[in-house]
Structure 1
Amino acid sequence: MAARRIAQSSINWAALAERVPPNQKANLAAFKSMSDKYLRSVLVNPETPPKIDWAFYQKNVPIAGMVEKFQKAYEALQIPYPVDTLTSQIEGQEKQVREEIATFIKDSENRIADYQKHVAALKALLPFDQMTMEDYRDSFPEHAMDPINRPTFWPHSPEDQYTDAPEEKAHH
């Protein structure tokens, strides 16, 4: 597998900087600096190694067989390009995250619609400072005091009320 030559960074640094929180800007700048330094060090070297003039060395090296031995070893040398085993995992994680984001957006839009309905219902009510107790009871029957059907004892807080239900017993 042949390696492709890196010509420039494929990272959109401006878009990334927009998403980084202010307290992490220094870390992003340090990372960008290291990335640029690495890219410069790669671009300094030629894409292919220079060709060796083996005939020149055979004429000038007095030890017999030494140049042939080095030439065989040099031509037999194969430096493997690392196999990419992580791109598929990253793409799978990206797909999963995109699905989670889409689900979150859909759920958020549903919550927003429910909240807007609730706000519209509250805006349709009389202002609280103009309501009578009867208006409040009609608008919020579950919260209003109902001395006939649900009598309460003073101070009318839920924890101070008597109930007929037996208390839960701890299981040992």
Structure 2
Amino acid sequence: MASVARRIKASSINWAAIAERVPENQKSQYLAFKAKSDGYLRRMLSQPEEPPKIDWAFYKTSVAVPGMVEDFQKKYDALKIPYPADNLTPQIEAQKQEAAKEVKEYINASNARIASYEAELAKIRAMLPFEMMTMEDFRDAYPDQALDPLNRPTFWPHEPEDQPDYEEETPQAEAKH
């Protein structure tokens, strides 16, 4: 696949979008980089798109060595500067597609979490306010947290660590070196 060199007419960089993301402490570095890039673009655009034409007839009459100008002209016309082949665009496109796929998966997972949180929020809003709840209402709303003296009797102050069957959680032993 032979790539053809193309003339850059203007910068394709969205400097405003980049400037929005540059932290305050790096503004000077950003401005220096932008100035360098703009300077390069100005120098490049100041050059002609095509190399200047050589007046071979003038040199044929001026150069005394026979055949030298014809030889130079033949070599000059045969000279083609190769433009580097673009081998990285397919890889970049594949990475772009993979990133888009990951973003879509993340958005779908986030939307599922949002839906579950909204359902939980709707359930909480539908409940009786805590100020108006009785102990029975609390037991009905939160059976795992409510005191149940008949089925699960506890001792005062009814904290897990104050109960007879409480076992203290031991931290994992550190790995030996």
Q: Please classify the TM superposition score into its range, dividing by the shorter chain length.
A: 0.7 to 0.9
Query: Gaps spanning 5+ residues in structure 2: where?
Result: none
Aligned length: 167
CA distance in 1, matches of 2:15, 2:141: 54
TM-score normalised by the chain length of structure 2: 0.77
User: What displacement does 1:113 show?
Assistant: 1.1
Structure 2 matches for 1:27-46, cutoff 5 A?
28-46=30-48
Question: Secondary structure of the equivalent of 2:105?
Answer: helix
The question of whether the paired residues in 2 share the 8 Å contact of 1:17 and 1:25 is answered with: no
TM-score, normalised relative to structure 1: 0.79
1:98 counterpart (90, 95, 100): 100
Greater length-normalized contact order (CA 8 Å, ≥ 6 residues apart): 2
Distance in 2 (CA, whole Å) between partners of 1:146 and 1:110 is: 35
What is the match of residue 50 of structure 2? 48
CA distance in 2, matches of 1:5, 1:155: 81
Partner of 1:152: 154
**Contact 2:59/2:69, CA 8 A, preserved across alignment:** yes
Say if 1:84 and 1:136 are closer, same or farther in 2 by CA, change over 3 A: same
- What amino acid is the match of 1:113? A
Cα deviation code 1:48-103 (max 9, x no counterpart) = 10111122112223344443443343233321101111111111111111111111
Separation of aligned partners in 1, 2:23 and 2:44: 31
Query: Could you say what the CA RMSD is over the residues aligned between the two structures, in angstroms?
Result: 2.8
Correspondence for 2:126: 124
Among all aligned residue pairs of Structure 1 and Structure 2, give the percentage whose two residues are the same amino acid.
56
Q: Which runs of 5+ in 1 are unaligned?
A: none
Residue 130 of structure 1, CA deviation: 1.9
